[in-house]
Amino acid sequence: MYPNDSINSWFDGQGHWSDVPANKWNDWKWQLRNRLTTLDHLENFLDLTPEERKGALLADKKLALAITPYFFNLIDPNDPDDPIRRQVVPRVEETRTAPEELLDPVGEEGTSPVPGIVHRYPDRVLFLVTDRCAAYCRYCTRSRLVSNAQDYNFHPEYESGLRYIRSHPEIRDVLLSGGDPLLLSDQKLDHLLGELRKIPHVEFIRIGSRIPVFLPQRITPALADIFRKHGPIWMSIHVNHPNECTIALSAACEQLSFAGVPLGNQSVLLRGVNDDAETMRALLHRLLMMRVRPYYLYQCDLITGSAHLRVDPRKGIEIIRALRGHTTGYAIPQFVIDAPGGGGKVPINPDYIQEITDEAVIMRNFQGEEYRYPLISGAVGATPEVQPFHA
Ligand SMILES: *Cc1c(COP(=O)(O)O)cnc(C)c1O
């Protein structure tokens, strides 16, 4: 199905836009201006199902519809279950709310001291710098505020955010997110990163962005220079399916890597997209080939209207079990549930420990065989106390 895990066994041309001059196609601002944002737009290129047609009509009230021409081209128009399509084409199911679902599924509002800052963990903050993205994932954790379809009126206040970080010396790690931070102009990004770099206690700066995937044209030499100048800047991209691993994404990752940006990937486990071990393995292998280290695999948050995309977390555990030992350790992400209500990310792992006695750890390896690791003889019975780390 995914022969030899080669990058871009799929599609990298201009597709529906083959008459557009290459200089326009490769201009990120042209891509943004020409996004598909309405039902009419979509119907020019795709035979929509009734569920999708209704979804596109209702998207304005939930989470805006927007798909870049580049990303839209990755959809196979003959496959109603296409994994790219499932991520970005709205469906009427989004307007239904299951009892377990929440507007703020991971409890960000409760730990936001100033607008745009989420301070959940002691030593690091999430800094939301915009409510706009290049395209909108239908399972977005922040659909309450992103794209402003629900009149949230999110106004990022860089100065109050920066002031908060400056006045909290315990913050050593700042994660820029949104919306997508790479939608900011070069000038604004340069300024923001420069201000963060001036803060002596901020030792780690990272950006969460799906722009390399939705809009690889945004990764220009000028942008790479900004990251080089303020480096090390780390980046987590968001790829869910091997079909997203195009030559254009690969080139964007290469530019970022060569500018000294270590790359990680965050995927969301999604029904009909990547909820089987073979697809996941193909995705992870392609990421490694693009210098991207798989970081997290998320259980889909309980966002309102996401039931049709969510998967039983036991399936995720089985996928991780199918990978561990069977492929490169670097390829395997940490499967996590971001705990509803603001508990933070909790690692969810297959259980390899059979039993821990006073004498030994009894465990099973990746082939299910039992092994035994004897404990230090002198320490029998003395369980060492492990204290949580405090900065
Ligand atoms: C995910 C997240 C972070 C970063 O967590 P890491 O495990 O360090 O990647 C920080 N703050 C918030 C609020 C988050 O949701």
What pLDDT digit, counting tens, does each position of 247-265 carry? Answer: 999 999 999 999 999 999 9
- Contact (CB, 8 A) for 371 and 361: no
Supply 186's token pair.
């070069």
- Contact (CB, 8 A) for 306 and 300: yes
For residue 327, give the DSSP letter.
Answer: B
Pairwise CA distance, residues 358 & 194, whole Å: 53
The pLDDT assigned to 390 comes to: 65
State mean pLDDT over 161-189.
98
- Contact (CB, 8 A) for 129 and 116: yes
Q: What is the largest CA-CA distance in the chain?
A: 76
For residue 377, give the DSSP letter.
Answer: G
Q: Is the pLDDT of residue 321 over 90?
A: yes
The pLDDT assigned to 383 comes to: 64
User: What ligand 1 atom has the least distance to the C-alpha of 296?
Assistant: 9
Residue carrying the six token digits 């469906």: 91
- Identity at 310, one-letter amino acid code: R
Pairwise CA distance, residues 391 & 376, whole Å: 30
Rounded to 5°, the CA angle 249-255-257 comes to: 100
The counts of H helices and E strands in the chain are 13, 12
CA-nearest residue, atom 2 of ligand 1: 126
The reply to whether 137 belongs to the active site is yes
Q: What is the mean pLDDT of the chain?
A: 94
The reply to whether 133 belongs to the active site is yes
User: What ligand 1 atom has the least distance to the C-alpha of 108?
Assistant: 13
The pLDDT assigned to 9 comes to: 47
| pLDDT class of 388 with cuts at 50, 70, 90 | confident
pLDDT tens-digit readout, 226-239: 999 999 999 999 99
The reply to whether 120 belongs to the active site is yes
CA-nearest residue, atom 6 of ligand 1: 345
- Decide which of 191 and 1 is more confident: 191
Question: Of 64-68, 128-132, 229-233, 382-386, which gets the smallest average pLDDT?
Answer: 382-386
The reply to whether 85 belongs to the active site is no
pLDDT tens-digit readout, 272-298: 999 999 999 999 999 999 999 999 999
User: What ligand 1 atom has the least distance to the C-alpha of 236?
Assistant: 9
Distance from the Cα of residue 210 to its chain's centroid: 7
CA-nearest residue, atom 1 of ligand 1: 345
Q: Is the pLDDT of residue 325 over 80?
A: yes
Give the residues surrounding ligand 1 with Cβ less than 6 Å away. 118, 120-121, 124, 126, 175, 345
The reply to whether 136 belongs to the active site is no
User: Given 137, 245, 253, 300, which residue is catalytic?
Assistant: 137
pTM here is 0.95
User: What ligand 1 atom has the least distance to the C-alpha of 106?
Assistant: 15
Q: Is the pLDDT of residue 302 over 60?
A: yes
Q: Is the pLDDT of residue 387 over 70?
A: yes
Question: Of 2-11, 48-57, 61-70, 229-238, which gets the smallest average pLDDT?
Answer: 2-11
Handedness of CA 116, 223, 173, 253 (dihedral sign): positive
The pLDDT assigned to 60 comes to: 86
CA-nearest residue, atom 8 of ligand 1: 124
Tally Cβ neighbours within 10 Å of residue 232. Answer: 13
Q: Which of 164, 231, 225, 169 minimizes the C-alpha distance to 197?
A: 231
pLDDT tens-digit readout, 6-44: 555 456 679 999 999 999 999 999 999 999 999 999 999
Architecture per CATH, domain 109-347, reads as Alpha-Beta Barrel (3.20)
Residue extent(s) of CATH 3.20.20.70 domains in the chain = 109-347
The reply to whether 225 belongs to the active site is no
Handedness of CA 89, 95, 99, 105 (dihedral sign): positive
| pLDDT class of 4 with cuts at 50, 70, 90 | very low
For residue 203, give the DSSP letter.
Answer: -
- Contact (CB, 8 A) for 368 and 375: no
| pLDDT class of 1 with cuts at 50, 70, 90 | very low
State mean pLDDT over 213-228.
98
